[in-house]
Amino acid sequence: MIPWVDGLTIGEVLRRTAAEHGEHDALVFPQSGLKLNYRDFDRRVDEAARGLLALGIGRGDHVALWATNVPEWVILQFATARIGAVLVTVNPAYRPFELRYVLEQSDAVALFLVDRFKSSDYFAMLADVCPELARSEPGHLQSCEFPKLRWIVSLKGQPPAGAISFSEMCRRGRSSSVPGPADCQAALAATDAINIQYTSGTTGFPKAAMLAHRNLLLNAYYVGDCQRFGPDDRICIPVPFYHCFGCVLGTICAAVYGAAMIVPAESFHPLATLDAIERERATAIYGVPTMFIAQLQHESFAGRDLSSLRTGIMSGSPCPIEVMKEVVDRMGVREITIAYGQTEASPVITQTRCDDPLQLRVETVGRPLPGLEVSIIEAGTGTTLGDNQPGELCMRGHAVMLGYYKNPAATAAAITPDGWLHTGDVAVRQPNGCYRITGRIKDMVIRGGENVYPREVEEFLFTHPAVEQAAVFGVPDLKFVEELCAWIKLKAGASVSEDELRSYCRARLAHYKVPRYIRLVSEFPQTVTGKIQKFKMREAMIAELGLREHETA
């Protein structure tokens, strides 16, 4: 069966959903009290779209959005899609150096941003990279570094000199005589690029993955279908909007099914998330493992009524089996699913289903979404591998990105001429057609000629009753080329020594899988989405152990 969204644009999908489910909640921000139904949300999107057109922004123009999870983020996402502008999502954790790169590389004509959040002063950082703004009239910015950048629009706070507020943009749209959003929407194609997402590589600058209406809508449709979504569902979205998890599996998925988007806070906080689930009777909850752990460990968890929860997604990083079981047993999310993918795949490639046996849902990342082909190949040779043989997971189908913006060499390296996307992930296909992700090709540790997949050792460490989180990676070694290192965070109140953990491993694992170095830590370096940054841990251990000279040994 062909999904009803196929061939449509994001703006058209929202219009149909608003017509069919206009009275249903669309956007809910419990902390501020904002609640919009689909009819009002669609109207707000039209208002913002007219404002963009009044600024001279139209089809194909790149619009950068540097903000936390605020209501205007979602409105702007659908407004840019409605007129065919390309939304460039910017990580709110970025600092001036990274902002400078994105504004230049993306060819953005406008930047939308919040004023501040916690210790981050976004206006001050913008002034650092674009001092010309203070001497410019709104809409007439002339920067040597960013020749296409014209408009700076503040989503919160008093706009700085040279900028305007979001409300002022909308006001200009109401008084403008330019053609309206409906005229623009009719001229768009489902295959148009509509979103640029920057991938968070561990080395070098991030690459700009270009995604189309069709990429995102089909991914959202099938991901929602795996969760059995309908218009009565209410999705709690504590994950950041700048990432595909928030703005595809969250906002676009909700619009496809007429479900409510419940946004607990500007950034993840376990208390705000638990409050939102309970108060708004969420039926679905999204998050990476670290977010679920934080909620399960929160002091208020025991007294919560989370009985409305039914389904959701755990994704973003390897999902520890023990954590998954606690989400099902203690949070009551009996139909929780596991999704696996990456930005270049819009983002989901495989997903478990609600009715899959729990054992399958805790041990695999499920089967490919409809319309996607998945193949396991031998790295280096490209030979197709059979069941139970680890190799690189490659994917082909509607989810493959259009390419990397202004980077044809990287695009050619990632996508074969016949459309296969190289994920760089090591996976195993089981005889039942489900997949297990065992690591990254670059993460694989080769110790004395033995291949060690960190994920396997991490899953073992989670079986120790004192371990809350574990991250395993390789460090250079003169004798074995690489040695294993494990960073471990203990559960609250737990006590165990590094030597005891090493003995626990030695008694149950092959000798070459036992971490030589173990460090007990209180936290891990992470991205905004909760992905653990092993390259930072590796650098820290190399410095601590004095291993720099062995890196090329």
Taking alpha carbons only, the member of 314, 336, 309 closest to residue 233 is 309
The whole model's pTM is what?
0.85
Question: Which amino acid is located at 261 in the chain?
Answer: M
- Which DSSP state fits 236? E
307: three-class secondary structure by DSSP: coil
Instruction: Give tens-digit pLDDT for 203-221.
Output: 457 899 999 999 999 999 9
445-550 and 10-17+35-198 share a CATH fold? no
Residue 552 reports pLDDT greater than 50: no
Q: Dump the DSSP string for 456-484.
A: HHHHHHTTSTTEEEEEEEEEEETTTEEEE
- Which DSSP state fits 491? P
pLDDT tier for residue 430 given thresholds of 50, 70 and 90? very high
pLDDT given for residue 199 in this prediction: 85
CATH fold of 10-17+35-198: Rossmann fold (3.40.50)
Percent of the chain with pLDDT over 70: 97
pLDDT given for residue 553 in this prediction: 31
Question: Which amino acid is located at 110 in the chain?
Answer: A
Start-to-end C-alpha separation, the chain? 56
**What's the mean pLDDT in 421-429?**
94
Do 52 and 174 meet the contact criterion of CB atoms below 8 Å apart?
A: no
Instruction: Give tens-digit pLDDT for 114-170.
Output: 999 998 999 999 999 999 999 999 999 999 999 999 999 999 999 999 999 999 999
Residue 331 reports pLDDT greater than 50: yes
pLDDT given for residue 318 in this prediction: 61
Angle between helices 38-54 and 71-83 (to 10 degrees): 60
Which residues on adjacent β-strands are paired with residue 475? 483
Q: Rounded to an integer, what distance in angstroms lies between the CA atom of residue 167 and that of residue 162?
A: 15
Which residues on adjacent β-strands are paired with residue 520? 488
Residue 307 reports pLDDT greater than 50: yes
Q: Rounded to an integer, what distance in angstroms lies between the CA atom of residue 222 and that of residue 352?
A: 11
**What's the mean pLDDT in 503-527?**
89
Domain boundaries of the chain, sorted by first residue: 10-17+35-198, 445-550
pLDDT given for residue 483 in this prediction: 92
User: In which residue are the tokens 């749209």 written?
Assistant: 173
516: three-class secondary structure by DSSP: coil
Q: Greater confidence, 449 or 35?
A: 35
pLDDT tier for residue 550 given thresholds of 50, 70 and 90? low
User: In which residue are the tokens 């913006």 written?
Assistant: 405
Q: Greater confidence, 531 or 367?
A: 367
pLDDT given for residue 543 in this prediction: 93
Query: C-alpha distances in angstroms, 408 versus 67, 208, 417?
Result: 29, 11, 12
Instruction: Give tens-digit pLDDT for 320-330.
Output: 777 888 999 99
CATH fold of 445-550: GMP Synthetase; Chain A, domain 3 (3.30.300)
Residue 291 reports pLDDT greater than 80: yes
Q: Greater confidence, 209 or 290?
A: 209
Q: Rounded to an integer, what distance in angstroms lies between the CA atom of residue 540 and that of residue 538?
A: 5
Taking alpha carbons only, the member of 243, 227, 237 closest to residue 317 is 243
Where in 355-412 does DSSP place strands (E)?
A: 367-368, 372-377, 391-397, 403-404
Angle formed at CA 367 by CA 364 and CA 372, multiple of 5 degrees: 140
Q: Dump the DSSP string for 49-102.
A: HHHHHHTT--TT-EEEEE--S-HHHHHHHHHHHHHTPEEEEE-TT--HHHHHHH
User: Which one of 7-21, 316-330, 435-449 scores highest in mean pLDDT?
Assistant: 7-21
Burial of 387 (0-12, 13-18, 19+ CB in 10 A): exposed
pLDDT given for residue 202 in this prediction: 41
Q: Rounded to an integer, what distance in angstroms lies between the CA atom of residue 151 and that of residue 169?
A: 10
Percent of the chain with pLDDT over 90: 79
Alpha-helix residue ranges (DSSP H) falling in 227-319: 244-247, 251-257, 270-280, 289-297
pLDDT given for residue 124 in this prediction: 96
**What's the mean pLDDT in 285-295?**
90
Taking alpha carbons only, the member of 166, 172, 167, 171 closest to residue 152 is 166
Do 248 and 220 meet the contact criterion of CB atoms below 8 Å apart?
A: yes
pLDDT given for residue 204 in this prediction: 54
From the centroid of its chain, how far is CA 219? 13
CB atoms within 10 A of CB 528: 17
**What's the mean pLDDT in 368-392?**
94
pLDDT given for residue 316 in this prediction: 67
Instruction: Give tens-digit pLDDT for 526-549.
Output: 876 677 888 899 999 999 999 876
pLDDT given for residue 527 in this prediction: 77
Taking alpha carbons only, the member of 126, 76, 77 closest to residue 97 is 126
pLDDT tier for residue 496 given thresholds of 50, 70 and 90? very high
Residue 447 phi/psi, 5-degree rounding, is -105, 110
Which residues on adjacent β-strands are paired with residue 6? none
Mean pLDDT, the chain, whole residue set: 93
